[in-house]
Amino acid sequence: MGLISFLKEKFKKKTVSEEDKTYDQALSKSRNELSLKMKTLAKKAKKVNALYFEQLEEILIEADVGANLTLALVEETINLAKAKKMDEPDEINELLIDLMFQKYYDDYKDNHEIKFRDDRGSVVLITGVNGVGKTTSIAKLGYRYLKQGKKVCFVAADTFRAAAIEQLDEHAKRLDVPIVKGSPNEDPSSVIYRGLDYMISHGIDLLLIDTSGRLHNKDYLMRELGKINRVIEKRLGAPADESLLVLDATTGQNGLEQARAFLGTLPLTGLIITKMDGTSKGGIILAINQELHLPVRFIGLGEKMDDLKLFDLDKFLYSLLIGEDKE
């Protein structure tokens, strides 16, 4: 059974959950850019030839799948189609879609929730460049786990931006969660050390740490993040439980450049993709998988506090490829 058929069968139901609706609405722009264009091309095509595959390449690149991955996928599709004697546009398209997402399916089908410890709180570093929604994502993560009955604490360790401290402090007040913060330009490691002490002494389940996202000096960033890791390991006897990088989906391939820099400085365990509702570039998920080999853990599908969702690959693909088109 192909991926499209599998998804249609899985989501063949009369009732649609609010989360399903959120995915569907948020990915409508990406669906129009990828799935709808592929269907339109198939309907117009009189035959599958070199021009047809060139047009498929254009669709994938415009959806931000990435040039290298696009060329590899289309070449593999051509070879398989010849071997299987496929010449119908719809069949070619479904074969391409299967190839696009099967590896992601194989690699990252596990539950992406933050795992909580029995012996102490879980320490999660959140990083990302300014403007990607890092501080807001921390607030939304806090909100998510507060609703699950967890005790949450924020650490405002992005001390190089006074606005970042103020913003996280405001979120903490709204959510009624404790926050450990320092003064502008204070050593971030000292703020984090106090946060770790607070977590242990107050029985906190989840410590969410906001870190600096400056990339204009990668050497400095590397030293700073290295120091933070050493402080955590010294205090707890182990590194941070999670290191999550926040990427803005609307920045497309530029986001990958940011990610490469962070991946060289921090042992990342996953990604938070924000602003997916504001872009037509749904293919960025594939480019991220190929380039970084990291799972998307959470995805931003709107502005509301509960619009940061656990990344559900089936719901993502159904909304990206099928959505309201359920024929």
Neighbour count for residue 148 (Cβ, 10 Å)? 11
Three-state DSSP state, 81? helix
Least confident of 15-29, 43-57, 292-306: 15-29
Extended strands (E) in the chain: 122-127, 152-156, 179-181, 206-210, 242-248, 270-274, 296-300, 308-310
pLDDT tens, position by position, 139-197: 999 999 999 999 999 999 988 888 889 999 999 999 999 999 988 889 999 999 999 99
pLDDT value at 79 more than 90:
yes
pLDDT value at 40 more than 90:
yes
Q: Cβ neighbours of residue 307 under 8 Å, at least 6 residues apart? A: 22, 26, 140, 277, 300, 301
pLDDT tens, position by position, 234-283: 999 999 999 999 999 888 777 777 788 788 778 889 999 999 988 777 88
pLDDT tens, position by position, 190-216: 999 999 999 999 999 999 999 877 665
Section 76-95 average pLDDT: 93
- Kindly report the CA angle at 150 between 144 and 154, in degrees rounded to 5? 75
Q: Tell me the two tokens of residue 275.
A: 């602003």
Can you give the C-alpha Rg of the chain in angstroms? 22
pLDDT recorded at residue 217: 57
pLDDT tens, position by position, 112-151: 899 999 999 999 999 988 888 999 999 999 999 999 999 9
217 vs 22: which has the higher pLDDT: 22
CA distance 41 to 58: 11
Instruction: Delineate the domains of the chain, giving CATH numbers in brackets.
Output: 29-107 (1.20.120.140), 122-310 (3.40.50.300)
Residue 203 one-letter amino acid: G
> 285-298 burial, b if ≥16 CB within 10 A, otherwise e?
bbbbbbbbebbbbb
Q: Tell me the two tokens of residue 169.
A: 């402090």
pLDDT recorded at residue 326: 45
**pTM of the predicted structure, to 2 decimals:** 0.90
Closest CA to 42 of 96, 81, 97, 92: 92
